[in-house]
């Protein structure tokens, strides 16, 4: 998406360790107009498909997942990075190693919010080593008959991004 590439070139900062800082518009402060345009781009990829849920992982994927869910007319569900008092004990889980935090965490989705037979679109902000996406795919594969698709905004192997 050219608009996103332009924005990264303008506002992105490359940090040591191959981390691209996009805090000013994507994963700390969020530009709603850009997120909306990214969500429209994602929806165009799946035009005419029936999608029941958008699935992401906290926290950076949530904004985009909500925008996408809004446009698709379906709920957005996010995997939580750890147990909390307000999540039921009946959960799907997978281990995910964090590229930015360098720790492995158990990510959880309550069984209340994903059901067999649902068609799920998995979204995340970055694709680095694919750990987060693999965790979500594992959760989805455990229960779903059909996974509709997987989308990440920033694939670090993308040729266009390598030139930044």
Query: Using CB under 6 A as the criterion, which residues of the chain lie in contact with ligand 5GP when the complex forms?
Result: 19-22, 27, 60, 99-100, 124-133
In the complex, the smallest distance separating the C-beta of residue 148 from ligand 5GP, rounded to whole angstroms, is 20
In the complex, the smallest distance separating the C-beta of residue 65 from ligand 5GP, rounded to whole angstroms, is 12
Burial class (CB within 10 angstroms; exposed 0-12, middle 13-18, buried 19+) of 17: exposed
In the complex, the smallest distance separating the C-beta of residue 152 from ligand 5GP, rounded to whole angstroms, is 8
Q: Looking at beta carbons only, is 19 or 150 nearer to ligand 5GP?
A: 19
The CA-based diameter of the chain, rounded to the nearest angstrom, is 46
Q: Looking at beta carbons only, is 128 or 139 nearer to ligand 5GP?
A: 128
Q: Looking at beta carbons only, is 14 or 49 nearer to ligand 5GP?
A: 14
Q: Looking at beta carbons only, is 21 or 115 nearer to ligand 5GP?
A: 21
Q: Looking at beta carbons only, is 22 or 114 nearer to ligand 5GP?
A: 22
Cα–Cα distance for residue pair 112/156, rounded to 1 Å: 33
In the complex, the smallest distance separating the C-beta of residue 37 from ligand 5GP, rounded to whole angstroms, is 19
Closest CA to 76 of 57, 101, 90: 57
């Amino acid at each position: 998406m050219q608009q996103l590439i332009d924005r990264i070139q303008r506002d992105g900062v490359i940090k040591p360790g191959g981390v691209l800082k996009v805090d000013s518009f994507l994963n700390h402060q969020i530009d709603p107009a850009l997120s909306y345009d990214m969500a429209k781009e994602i929806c165009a990829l799946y035009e005419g498909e029936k999608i029941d849920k958008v699935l992401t992982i906290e926290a950076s994927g949530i904004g985009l997942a909500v925008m996408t869910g809004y446009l698709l007319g379906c709920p957005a569900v996010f995997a939580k990075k750890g147990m909390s008092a307000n999540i039921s004990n009946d959960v799907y889980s997978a281990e995910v190693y964090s590229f930015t935090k360098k720790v492995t965490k158990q990510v959880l989705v309550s069984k209340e919010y994903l059901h067999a037979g649902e068609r799920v679109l998995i979204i995340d902000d970055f694709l680095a080593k694919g750990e987060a996406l693999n965790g979500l795919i594992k959760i989805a594969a455990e229960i779903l008959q059909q996974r509709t698709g997987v989308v990440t905004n920033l694939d670090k192997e993308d040729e266009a991004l390598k030139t930044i």
